[in-house]
Amino acid sequence: MHQEDKKRTKGGSWLTRGLGAMLLMMGPALALAQEAAEAAPVPNKGDTAWMMVCTLLVIMMAVPGLALFYGGMVRAKNMLSISMQVFVTFSLLTVLWVVYGYSLAFNGTGQWIGDFSRFLLSGITADSNAATFSEGVVIPEYVFVAFQATFAAITTALAVGGFAERTKFSAVLVFAVIWFTFSYLPIARMVWFTEGFLFKAGALDYAGGTVVHINAGIAGLVGALMVGKRTGYGTVAMPPHNVPYVMIGAALLWVGWFGFNVGSGLEANNGAGLVFLNTFVCTAAAVSAWTFGEWIFRGKPTMLGAASGAVAGLVAITPSCGVLSPGGAIILGLVVGLICLWAVAGLKKSLGYDDSLDVFGVHAVGGIVGALSCAILGHPSLGGVGAFESIGPQLVIQAEGVLITIVWSAVVTAIAFLLIKVTIGLRPSEEAEREGLDTNEHGERAYES
C-alpha cells in the first residue's frame, strides 16, 4: 500500500470514528425530537368539519331563526325593527369578538378577565390549535374562535327581545357594545376558561345556561324596566302579528341548537351522541308540557305556547346536556315547560313588567332551572353522568354561579342603560312608537298594504 493510501485510510478511519461518536451523542436528542414531533397533536379532519358545521348551525339560529321568532311575535309595524336589531347586533359583535373579545375571554391569566395579547387574533395562525376536553385532541384555533364568536353574538341578540318595540336602534347598538364588553366577556371567562373563577370552583355549564341564557334574560328584564312599558301596554291588545313566523323561527332554533349544544364538546365523539339525544328529547318534552299545561290552565293550546315551550326546553338543557341521562332530560323538559309557562303567564302578569318577548320568563327562568338541574338530575344516583360526589355541595356551586351571573348582568345592564339615557336617549318619540319603528327608524315597511 502506498504511503498516501495509508494516510487516506488512517484519516478516513478517524473521520468515521468521529462521526460515529457524534451520532451516538446526538442519538438520544434526535430520538426525543422525533418522539415529540410524533406526539404533537394534529386536528382530526372529522372534528374540524363537525365544528365548522356547528358554527354554521348557530349562525342559522340567529339569522334567520331568532329574527323570525322575534319578528313574528312583535306587531307588524315593528317587524323590520326587531329583525334589524338581531341581524346587525349579531354582525357587530362578531367583529368585536375578533378584535378584542376572544383575547379578553380566553387568554391571559386572570380569573375574571383576560388581556389583549390576542388583539385582532395576534399570534394565531392556520397552524395554531385549541385544546378540547380530551387529552391530545385539538381543533384549529381559528375554528374555535369562530364557534365561540357565534355564542357571544347571539347572546346579546337574545337580550334585545326584552325591550323590543320601544327602543331606538342607536341605543340598542350602544347597549350591545357595552354589555358584550362588561357582562358577556367576564362571565364567559369565569365559567368556561380553565382559570376562570367559576370554572375552578367546579360550576357546570356545558353550553351556556349561565353565560348565555341567564345573562341575556336578566339583561332583557332590567332593560325592560329601565326603558319602560310600551305605549298602550295593558290597555291595547298587542298580539303577535305572524304566528307561523314564530313557529318557523322556533323550528330553526331547535335545529340550530344541536350545533350550540353538541358543538360545545368540541369533538364528534361518543359523548356528542348523549348531548344530541338529550337536546332532542328535552325540547320535545317541554313542548308537550307547555301545550298540555296551557290547555288545562288556560283553556286552549296555542301555537305560540308550543313554540315558547320548545325554546324553554332548549334553554334548560343547554347547561346540563352533558351530564343528564335521556330520562333525566325528559323530566327536565316536563318541569321547565310548566315553570316557564307560569313565569310567562302568571309571574309576568302579577308583577306587571313589560318584557316584550318573554326573554326573562323563558331564558332567565329556564336557564336557572337548567343550571340547578345539573346538580340534581346529573347525579349518578338519579341516572346522570356528572363527575361529582354529592348533590348538596354541587347544588351550592351551581346556585353560586346563578347568583353571580344575575347580579353581574343586572349591574352592567343598569349602568349601560343609565349612560345611554343621559346621552343619546333610550326611546323614540311617542308618535314614532305609535306609528312603528320600521318606518321611523329604518324608512322601510315589512309589508305593503
Residue closest to 325 by CA, chosen among 392, 273, 362: 273
Domain covering 49-442 in this structure, CATH number: 1.10.3430.10
How far is CA 189 from its chain centroid? Answer: 12
Helix (H, G, I), strand (E, B), or coil: what is residue 423? Answer: coil
pLDDT of amino acid 448: 84
Report the alpha-carbon distance of residue 441 to residue 443 in Å, rounded.
Answer: 6
Residue closest to 221 by CA, chosen among 72, 365, 430, 370: 365
pLDDT of amino acid 23: 40
Dihedral of the alpha carbons of 67, 68, 71, 72, in degrees to the nearest 10: -160
How far is CA 12 from its chain centroid? Answer: 69
pLDDT of amino acid 33: 47
Q: What is the mean pLDDT of each run of 10 residues along the chain (449 residues)?
A: 41 47 51 55 95 98 96 97 98 98 96 96 96 94 98 97 97 98 98 96 96 98 97 94 98 98 96 97 98 96 98 98 97 98 95 96 98 97 92 97 98 98 97 95 90
How many C-beta atoms lie closer than 10 Å to residue 202's C-beta?
A: 14
Burial class, 441, CB count within 10 angstroms (exposed 0-12 / middle 13-18 / buried 19+): buried
Q: Would the pTM of this model clear 0.85, i.e. be above it?
A: yes
Residue type, 186: P
Report the alpha-carbon distance of residue 229 to residue 263 in Å, rounded.
Answer: 38
Q: Nine-digit cell at 431?
A: 308618535
pLDDT of amino acid 25: 53
What are the structural domain ranges in the chain?
Answer: 49-442
Q: Nine-digit cell at 351?
A: 308583577
pLDDT of amino acid 411: 98
Residue type, 129: N
Burial 213-225 (b: 16+ CB within 10 A, else e): bbbbbbbbbbbbb
